[in-house]
Chain A
């Protein structure tokens, strides 16, 4: 009998520490619920918020059921356009998670390639790439994203922009954050490069591409895993902030951020649920990811943020 990957994983110290950490287990469980809910949104949501025939403006601004004026049809109440808040949140979480994950995949592809080349080649190229990374990091991602999206909105016009919003958000957040991955990978590559197995494969005569991607990269995966969770949380927050400013998802196809934005105009009149309920969902989603990221950092690589 050969041991499967799962069995080896169950024996690992990582799994052991995970089992002992109640916060991490709870966070993972909550995260799974979020992922499942957003995957199954079209099946479990009571209404389809994108279907105008299911929306009645007469139903707008209804409070959740536990408040006296609540309506049994809408568990969490309705938003300013009469959409069921629960369904809109489910679809919104789906959009937020999609953008977060796709943006981080893009960051990882760019950052890992650049980091590998910089670390492996070294010299002037490395110096130049890391300087660029430093400078790019000093301009916060949010700042860069706001400016780029503002300009694109001006160029395209609002209508075309609304159709391209998801793609633009993924591209902007994906491209702006590559230095995080590049620096992490580079630091690991510098350590790996000195090891004997790299000399060995070089002597065998393998090309640099193969050495970098097939031999060095697998040994840099654990710090990457750690920052990935934190990066997805960051990407979701950035997306929410952009949508809140009206530069992200349109109100007709809201993410959590644009939903919060659409509710903000009502909050001064005491209609809190359109803003606060999606807000709490967003906070919990980001919080469990940060907790998981912290847990993994402590277990896998306590010195990740130090070079």
Chain B
């Protein structure tokens, strides 16, 4: 177990290093820090002197090392637009994005498990066929279209729900949350549905497929033969083993979920990291782009490593030396 842990952590560090090299080369190529500092009026000789002083003429590796040391101290540069440390700007927007992801995750968990299990237990039931039909349509509708259609129906036509922003938020231990005010909750509904709309059908299909397979396995047949009750077999023995692969896929899907927050936040003008990132791209605000890259990269790597570790711990059959058995 310890060797496995060390191996995964080393891999995570390597991935983070690769991300930091990419981030640094973006910074190196995109925009000129000197122009941001001094403007047009300074002579070429003075520019060269300033370049030397700032270390912009140093070899790539020296500059990269400096960048890395600063990044490890949480210094990712100063946003050109906000004139504040980029890391701070990004972290300010983190609660909004995480609450969106959290809300969507609740929807996914609450709906996917019962639906997936039901469609596996009664594959021929009309409700199952209906659910499977809806899920393939759901997979085929891009997130931003779901979001737009939700806005058009519920905000423009019916006028029931707000179409943009977070509404009222309250500060709890420095974390601004929309979950505790009525206005905040109302604003969360549409974006969370939109964000969950593509992963939910994927999970329903996955749980169904896994469950169908488990129900065919030897140990379930044995449980039937032993005369265990249906509920016990379905919900205790079968479901437990169904959820194992779901954990791995869930870990991989967190990446997708964060990518889709950019789309959802854009449509709903949700003041989160994704919306901020797109604005930074349009303003060529390089430090902010890099800060986003590093923060999101960190979230990816940490969640993936944690999911892998949990999977290794939970699944007794996994060989800890090579935990990826396969699957999607």
Whether A307 and B262, one on each chain, are in contact in the complex, defined by CB atoms closer than 8 angstroms, is no
User: Ordered nearest first, which 3 A-B pairs have the shortest CB separation?
Assistant: A307-B326, A143-B259, A287-B140
In the complex, residue of chain B having the shortest beta-carbon distance to the beta carbon of A149: B281
Give residues of chain B (253-269) contacting chain A, Cβ–Cβ below 8 Å: 255-256, 258-260, 262-263, 266-267
Q: Which residues of A contact B258 (CB under 8 A)?
A: 140, 143
Whether A142 and B324, one on each chain, are in contact in the complex, defined by CB atoms closer than 8 angstroms, is no
Quick one: which of A140, A233, A237, A247 contacts B255, CB cutoff 8 A? A140
| Cα separation A283 to B259 with both chains bound (whole Å) | 20
| Cα separation A155 to B142 with both chains bound (whole Å) | 29
Q: Which residues of A contact B34 (CB under 8 A)?
A: none
**Is A221 part of the binding interface, using a Cβ–Cβ cutoff of 8 Å?**
no
Listed A/B pairs (15) with beta-carbon separation below 8 Å: A138-B252, A142-B262, A142-B263, A147-B293, A150-B277, A151-B289, A154-B289, A244-B266, A267-B151, A268-B151, A276-B149, A279-B149, A287-B137, A290-B136, A294-B136
**Is A306 part of the binding interface, using a Cβ–Cβ cutoff of 8 Å?**
yes
Contact with B along A250-268 (1 / 0, CB 8 A): 0000000000100010011
Whether A283 and B139, one on each chain, are in contact in the complex, defined by CB atoms closer than 8 angstroms, is no
A151 and B30 contact, Cβ closer than 8 Å, known pairs A138-B300, A244-B263: yes
Contact with B along A293-307 (1 / 0, CB 8 A): 010000000000111
In the complex, residue of chain B having the shortest beta-carbon distance to the beta carbon of A267: B152
Whether A135 and B15, one on each chain, are in contact in the complex, defined by CB atoms closer than 8 angstroms, is yes
Whether B262 and A291, one on each chain, are in contact in the complex, defined by CB atoms closer than 8 angstroms, is no
Total interface residues on A, CB under 8 Å, equals 46
A279 and B304 contact, Cβ closer than 8 Å, known pairs A245-B263, A268-B163, A307-B327: no
| Cα separation A154 to B27 with both chains bound (whole Å) | 11
Whether A155 and B148, one on each chain, are in contact in the complex, defined by CB atoms closer than 8 angstroms, is no
In the complex, residue of chain A having the shortest beta-carbon distance to the beta carbon of B139: A290
Whether B259 and A142, one on each chain, are in contact in the complex, defined by CB atoms closer than 8 angstroms, is yes
Q: Which residues of A contact B277 (CB under 8 A)?
A: 150
Q: Which residues of B contact A222 (CB under 8 A)?
A: none
Give residues of chain B (202-236) contacting chain A, Cβ–Cβ below 8 Å: 209, 213
Quick one: which of A276, A282, A307 contacts B325, CB cutoff 8 A? A307
| Cα separation A44 to B259 with both chains bound (whole Å) | 38
**B45–chain A nearest beta-carbon distance, Å:** 28
A139 and B151 contact, Cβ closer than 8 Å, known pairs A290-B140, A307-B327: no
A272 and B143 contact, Cβ closer than 8 Å, known pairs A139-B300, A143-B258, A294-B136: no
In the complex, residue of chain A having the shortest beta-carbon distance to the beta carbon of B31: A154
Whether A264 and B267, one on each chain, are in contact in the complex, defined by CB atoms closer than 8 angstroms, is yes
| Cα separation A292 to B73 with both chains bound (whole Å) | 52
**Is A153 part of the binding interface, using a Cβ–Cβ cutoff of 8 Å?**
yes
Q: Which residues of A contact B145 (CB under 8 A)?
A: 260, 279, 282-283
Q: Which residues of B contact A294 (CB under 8 A)?
A: 136
Quick one: which of B31, B156, B251, B281 contacts A150, CB cutoff 8 A? B281
Q: Which residues of A contact B259 (CB under 8 A)?
A: 140, 142-143, 146
Known A241-B144, A260-B145; further 20 A-B contacts with Cβ < 8 A: A138-B252, A138-B255, A140-B259, A142-B262, A143-B255, A187-B326, A233-B140, A240-B142, A244-B263, A245-B278, A247-B281, A267-B151, A267-B156, A270-B156, A276-B152, A279-B148, A282-B145, A283-B140, A287-B137, A290-B140
Q: Which residues of A contact B213 (CB under 8 A)?
A: 306
Of the listed residues B29, B142, B152, B260, the one surrounded by the most CB atoms of chain A closer than 10 A to its CB is B142
| Cα separation A245 to B277 with both chains bound (whole Å) | 11
Quick one: which of A131, A244, A245, A286 contacts B140, CB cutoff 8 A? A286
**Is B141 part of the binding interface, using a Cβ–Cβ cutoff of 8 Å?**
yes
| Cα separation A18 to B122 with both chains bound (whole Å) | 25
**B277–chain A nearest beta-carbon distance, Å:** 8
Contact with B along A213-224 (1 / 0, CB 8 A): 000000000000
Q: Which residues of B contact A268 (CB under 8 A)?
A: 151, 155-156, 163
Q: Which residues of B contact A287 (CB under 8 A)?
A: 136-137, 140
Whether B142 and A282, one on each chain, are in contact in the complex, defined by CB atoms closer than 8 angstroms, is yes
**Is B5 part of the binding interface, using a Cβ–Cβ cutoff of 8 Å?**
no
Q: Which residues of B contact A154 (CB under 8 A)?
A: 30-31, 281, 284, 286, 289
**B278–chain A nearest beta-carbon distance, Å:** 6
Q: Which residues of A contact B289 (CB under 8 A)?
A: 150-151, 154
Q: Which residues of B contact A279 (CB under 8 A)?
A: 145, 148-149
A142 and B140 contact, Cβ closer than 8 Å, known pairs A267-B148, A306-B326: no
**A38–chain B nearest beta-carbon distance, Å:** 18
Quick one: which of B141, B155, B326 contacts A283, CB cutoff 8 A? B141
Q: Which residues of B contact A199 (CB under 8 A)?
A: none
Q: Which residues of B contact A151 (CB under 8 A)?
A: 26, 30, 289
| Cα separation A255 to B278 with both chains bound (whole Å) | 20
Contact with B along A162-185 (1 / 0, CB 8 A): 000000000000000000000100
Give residues of chain B (313-327) contacting chain A, Cβ–Cβ below 8 Å: 324-327
**Is B328 part of the binding interface, using a Cβ–Cβ cutoff of 8 Å?**
yes
Whether B255 and A139, one on each chain, are in contact in the complex, defined by CB atoms closer than 8 angstroms, is yes
**B297–chain A nearest beta-carbon distance, Å:** 8
Q: Which residues of B contact A275 (CB under 8 A)?
A: 148, 152
| Cα separation A282 to B144 with both chains bound (whole Å) | 12
**Is A137 part of the binding interface, using a Cβ–Cβ cutoff of 8 Å?**
yes
Whether A305 and B328, one on each chain, are in contact in the complex, defined by CB atoms closer than 8 angstroms, is yes
Q: Which residues of B contact A56 (CB under 8 A)?
A: none
